[in-house]
């Protein structure tokens, strides 16, 4: 079996038709991924007997819509998930895949993941009805993927900020479309990760950033110091924090005042010094 490095180094200057009939499925997969591969060859490879070749075709943005529709009904869940991730997938394809129960075991989390539904929930082409359907799914990872979608309505977000899963709340805090009042709510979440994510969001209101900048957790203060909307006064306050990681984040923030940078340039920690001096230069 070829390694990923070897696969990426395959020579595609040969006749694409010959490559599409190669005995080595790695060659055919490489051809299927290539954005320069013709639609005729992609159509041919969409019927390949190896699922990983079909998966590559399903993920190729140049694959004809008719082939994507065909692959959306493929016997392999990995192929169907690739269709859902393809930016050319239509809302109709995504709607048909929203109820797909294909799972794959995640050894890190030690649980099954609904790969197709998760992919559908993240798609920018999903229609509002399908997104709402997945936002109410019983699986927390599917809901978390829906929570990350910028197309999510404020009404659904308002319900999801109270979700039992911190993963869902965390993705609402990260979502660039989340309204300020909901970010203010999440800034008070009991889970540190959620508060930290809210602290990083540029849309988090100034009043909440003041609270986050004085959070009991240094991790939250560091995240707040990285917010591009934090004002110079709060950054100056954070510049005196005991954690070098907070001070380094202050030094890297574009809103940090010149006098604060001057002070951090002589910080006892070398990483803080370096960050401050690079800004001064």
Read off the pLDDT of residues 55-89 as tens digits, 9 standing for 90 and up.
Answer: 999 999 999 999 999 999 999 999 999 999 999 99
| Across 103-117, 134-148, 219-233, least confident range | 103-117
Q: What is the pLDDT of residue 12?
A: 56
4 band by pLDDT with thresholds 50, 70 and 90: very low
pLDDT tens-digit profile of 167-194?
Answer: 999 999 999 999 999 999 999 999 999 9
Q: What is the pLDDT of residue 280?
A: 75
pLDDT tens-digit profile of 260-273?
Answer: 999 999 999 999 99
Report the top-level CATH class of 1-89: mainly alpha
DSSP the chain: ---HHHHHT----S-HHHHTT-S-HHHHHHHHH-TTS-HHHHHHHTT-SSHHHHHHHHH-TTS-HHHHHHHTT-S-HHHHHHHHHSTT--HHHHHHHTT----EEETTTTEEE-HHHHHHHH-TT--HHHHHHHHT-SSHHHHHHHHT-TT--HHHHHHHTT-S-HHHHHHHHH-TT--HHHHHHHTT-SSHHHHHHHHH-TTS-HHHHHHHHT-S-HHHHHHHHT-TT--HHHHHHHTT-S-HHHHHHHHH-TT--HHHHHHHTT-SSHHHHHHHHHHH-
Q: What is the pLDDT of residue 67?
A: 97
Q: What is the pTM of this model?
A: 0.89
pLDDT tens-digit profile of 45-55?
Answer: 999 999 999 99
């Amino acid at each position: 079996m070829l390694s990923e490095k070897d696969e990426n180094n395959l020579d595609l200057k040969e006749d694409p038709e010959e490559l599409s009939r190669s005995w080595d499925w790695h060659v055919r997969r490489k051809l299927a991924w290539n954005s320069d591969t013709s639609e005729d060859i992609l159509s041919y490879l969409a019927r390949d007997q190896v699922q990983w070749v079909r998966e590559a075709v399903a993920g190729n943005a140049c694959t004809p819509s008719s082939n994507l529709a065909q692959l959306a009904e493929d016997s392999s869940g990995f192929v169907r998930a690739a269709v859902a991730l393809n930016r050319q997938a239509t809302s109709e394809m995504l709607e048909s895949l929203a109820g797909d129960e294909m799972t794959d075991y995640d050894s890190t989390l030690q649980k099954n993941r609904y790969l197709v539904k998760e992919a559908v929930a993240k798609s920018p082409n999903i229609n509002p009805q399908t997104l709402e359907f997945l936002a109410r799914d019983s699986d927390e990872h599917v809901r978390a993927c829906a929570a990350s979608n910028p197309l999510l309505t404020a009404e659904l977000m308002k319900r999801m900020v109270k979700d039992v899963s911190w993963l869902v709340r965390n993705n609402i805090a990260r979502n660039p479309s989340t309204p300020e009042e909901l970010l203010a709510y999440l800034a008070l979440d009991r889970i540190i990760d959620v508060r930290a994510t809210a602290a990083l969001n540029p849309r988090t209101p100034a009043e909440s950033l003041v609270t986050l900048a004085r959070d009991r957790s240094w991790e939250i203060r560091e995240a707040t110091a990285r917010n591009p909307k934090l004002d110079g006064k709060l950054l100056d306050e954070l510049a005196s924090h005991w954690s070098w990681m907070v001070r380094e984040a202050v030094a890297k923030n574009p809103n940090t005042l010149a006098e604060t940078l001057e002070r951090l340039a002589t910080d006892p920690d070398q990483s803080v010094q370096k960050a401050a001096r690079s800004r001064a230069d």
